Amino acid sequence: MARKVKDVFINLPVKDLQKSVDFFSALGFGFNDEMTDENASCMIIGDHMYVMLLVEPFFQKFTKKQLTDSAASTEVIVAISADSKAEVDEMVEKAIEAGGAVSNDKMDDEYMYGWSFQDLDGHLREVVYMPES
């Protein structure tokens, strides 16, 4: 039997915690106040799935490696599923309105519709809709 985990926490360094919380709140995400302080905020992205937004100096305590300059380099792309093409467009448009930037052109083929954006710190998000077939 394959191993299953109870919860998933993605740790993400951010320059300004409050601006990042405001940005993701504008996209409709909620936060766990019990796991939030001046160094970190726990964004709820699904059942048992969370993104820990950590201010860069606090994030640096968890690794001996140098942080990536997300404005110039990419280490990971976080993909977020949507229920429709319209929901994909709506989320990316909200990200742009909240100060984010488009990352790539829309992609539309028989298997997937997607569009991507960069958050305030340059981290990449791909929003995808995959119709059931």
For residue 125, pLDDT over 70 is answered with yes
For residue 110, pLDDT over 90 is answered with no
0.85 surpassed by pTM: yes
Outline which parts of the chain fall under CATH 3.10.180.10.
Answer: 1-61, 71-133
- What are the DSSP E strand ranges found in 1-133? 8-14, 30-32, 40-46, 49-55, 77-81, 101-108, 113-118, 124-129
Q: What is the pLDDT of residues 34-66, one digit of tens each?
A: 999 999 999 999 999 999 999 999 999 999 999
For residue 133, pLDDT over 80 is answered with no
**For the CA atoms of the chain, what is the radius of gyration?**
15
Percentage of the chain exceeding pLDDT 90: 81
Distance CA 115, CA 6 (A): 29
Pick the CATH number of 71-133 from 3.10.180.10, 3.40.1350.10, 3.30.1330.30, 3.40.1800.10: 3.10.180.10
**Residue written as tokens 């995959």?**
130
Architecture of 1-61 per CATH? Roll (3.10)
Give 1's pLDDT tier (boundaries 50, 70, 90): confident
Measured CA to CA in angstroms, residue 44 lies from 10, 71, 121 at distances of 11, 25, 19
Q: What is the pLDDT of residues 5-33, one digit of tens each?
A: 898 999 999 999 999 999 999 999 999 99
pLDDT score recorded for residue 70: 87
